[in-house]
Amino acid sequence: MSEAWIIEGVRSPRGGGKQGVGSMTHIHPQRILAQVLNALQERAGFDPADVEDVIMGNGSGVGDHAMDIARMATLDAGWPVSVPGVTLHRFCGSAQQAVNVAAMSVMSGQQDLVVAGGIESMSRTAPLSVDGFTANNAHLYAQYPLVPQGISADLIATVEGFSREDCDRLGVESQRRAAAAIDAGHFKRSVVPIHNDDGTLALDHDEYPRAGTTMESLAGLNPSFAKMGAMNPPNDTRSFDEICKAVYPQISEVNHVHHAGNSSGVVDGASALLLASPEYAKSRGLKPRGRVVMTATAGSEPVIMLTAPAPATQLVLKKAGMRKENIDLFEINEAFAAVVLKWQREMDLGNEKLNVNGGAIALGHPIGATGGMLIQTALDELERRNQSTALIAMCTGGGMGTATIIERL
Ligand SMILES: CC(C)(COP(=O)(O)OP(=O)(O)OC[C@H]1O[C@@H](n2cnc3c(N)ncnc32)[C@H](O)[C@@H]1OP(=O)(O)O)[C@@H](O)C(=O)NCCC(=O)NCCS
């Protein structure tokens, strides 16, 4: 098997995802991604004509995100028409899956130069829907009455006994670490500026974090998913909370602990990494920053939905012949506080090596783009600390988890 070298990675800033408030909401997602692709090309100095595929994750696939956004953004970037693009969807794990697929392709020897990452303008996607996951398939719904992700996160907290305070503590720590990372310039290596169509600067830094967040400032926030929990999905006489109780009879009620300060932020953003075979890279003088060691994907019960990061972590470690002690840094996506707490409980790990620059609660989680961002953050941090190995894992819709182990070269 060949190796998949990571030559370079860049990302847009995470811009606020509320229309009229965020600094990139007016920019078409194809344009945001095209600018990231061109920044990657400028940074790494490769010939776009040699790129064999541009694989991009996206969790929406409709409206301005529709029609194979990877191909459209590649054309918008002005790359040769010979460069194809493909968009893939594994919900929140889409960009990580794109990088994993690119790595598999390069490692198998089928392709030599692949760009992978993702894009999501959450400001353009519909607000969190209460119908949705089973896409009107009554047969599937009868087996798995999937609930919205915020309800699933509250269900994890309830089943596991995580309190509102436990979740708030994680939210405060995410903000504290993100603020320290921003002050120290830790994201400067990966973030590239995004410009408006007239060439003026739109945004050059993550704008979602709220430095100075405390337990006291979070204490006053209302749970975000309690009202939703009392609502009925279409074609079901039960509320979402009642569905949770039916699937998890050990609970007497759903404890709605998640809110804006301990859930991932709704933001816009894009990411892209360049992966190459050693032979191609050497022949073009491209220096590797790292390599993909192993990838894995796992599934878990889909109503609670967000519990597969630990099984994915265990699987990727097993496949790589490694133990958790061999990993220097972990990036576990902070989709919701309870997701990370559950991962920590299952993995029996503290937070010393975990999300050391903060996570999506502070920084935001642009669904289909986040995986690429996490891999870059991990690689940047390995370089900064002169360490070797990082493991990145995410939960996704539908009850899945994605995982990647990278090694600095
Ligand atoms: C949780 C969620 C619904 C909150 O959305 P929202 O209510 O629009 O959030 P807002 O940004 O308006 O914040 C709500 C309030 O909390 C406040 N707030 C947010 N973060 C805060 C913080 N860190 N400290 C103090 N206050 C904070 C806001 O100022 C706002 O106050 P206001 O109502 O007085 O203006 C939304 O962030 C969400 O859906 N996140 C998860 C997204 C998701 O599911 N991704 C996929 C994961 S698998």
Atom in ligand 1 nearest the alpha carbon of residue 221? 16
Mean pLDDT of the chain: 97
Q: Nearest C-alpha to atom 43 of ligand 1 is from which residue?
A: 264
- Residue 142, pLDDT score: 95
CA of 227 to the centre of ligand 1 (A): 15
- Residue 234, pLDDT score: 86
Atom in ligand 1 nearest the alpha carbon of residue 128? 39
CA of 176 to the centre of ligand 1 (A): 17
CA of 151 to the centre of ligand 1 (A): 15
Tokens 């061999």 correspond to what residue? 326
Taking a C-beta distance cutoff of 8 angstroms, is the pair 42, 54 a contact? no
Q: How many helices (H) and strands (E) does the chain have?
A: 14, 12
Q: Which residues are catalytic?
A: 92, 365, 395
Distance from C-alpha of 12 to C-alpha of 27, rounded to nearest angstrom:
12
Note every long-range contact of 285-288, with CB atoms under 8 Å and residues 24 or more positions apart, other chains counting.
286/5, 286/7, 286/44, 286/45, 286/46, 287/7, 288/5, 288/6, 288/7, 288/409
CA of 297 to the centre of ligand 1 (A): 29
* pLDDT values of the chain reduced to their tens digit, one per residue, 409 residues: 899 999 999 999 999 999 888 999 999 999 999 999 999 999 999 999 999 999 999 999 999 999 999 999 999 999 999 999 999 999 999 999 999 999 999 999 999 999 999 999 999 986 555 567 898 899 999 999 999 999 999 999 999 999 999 999 999 999 999 999 999 999 999 999 999 999 999 999 999 999 999 999 999 999 999 999 999 998 899 999 999 999 999 999 999 999 999 999 999 999 999 999 999 999 999 999 999 999 999 999 999 999 999 999 999 999 999 999 999 999 999 999 999 999 999 999 999 999 999 999 999 999 999 999 999 999 999 999 999 999 999 999 999 999 999 999 9
Tokens of 77: 């970037």
Q: Nearest C-alpha to atom 16 of ligand 1 is from which residue?
A: 260
Report the C-alpha dihedral over residues 214, 150, 226, 262, rounded to 10 degrees.
0
**pLDDT tens digits, one per residue of 279-294:** 999 999 999 999 999 9
Among 221, 258, 374, the mutation site with the greatest number of ligand 1 atoms within 8 A of its Cβ is: 221
Q: How many residues in total does the chain contain?
A: 409
Distance from C-alpha of 297 to C-alpha of 99, rounded to nearest angstrom:
13
Tokens of 171: 């939210």
Q: Which residues contact 71 (CB under 8 A, 6 or more apart)?
A: 54, 84, 85, 86, 87
> Residues enclosing ligand 1, CB less than 6 A?
92, 128, 149-150, 175, 210, 213, 217-218, 221, 224, 259-261, 263-266, 335, 365
Q: Nearest C-alpha to atom 22 of ligand 1 is from which residue?
A: 261
Positive/negative CA dihedral, 307, 365, 220, 240? negative
Distance from C-alpha of 68 to C-alpha of 84, rounded to nearest angstrom:
10
Atom in ligand 1 nearest the alpha carbon of residue 210? 23
CA of 222 to the centre of ligand 1 (A): 10
- Residue 20, pLDDT score: 83
CA of 121 to the centre of ligand 1 (A): 17
Tokens of 307: 């519990």
**pLDDT tens digits, one per residue of 62-103:** 999 999 999 999 999 999 999 999 999 999 999 999 999 999
Question: Which of 123, 116, 97 has the alpha carbon at shortest distance from 203?
Answer: 123
Among 146, 263, 395, the mutation site with the greatest number of ligand 1 atoms within 8 A of its Cβ is: 263
Distance from C-alpha of 325 to C-alpha of 224, rounded to nearest angstrom:
37
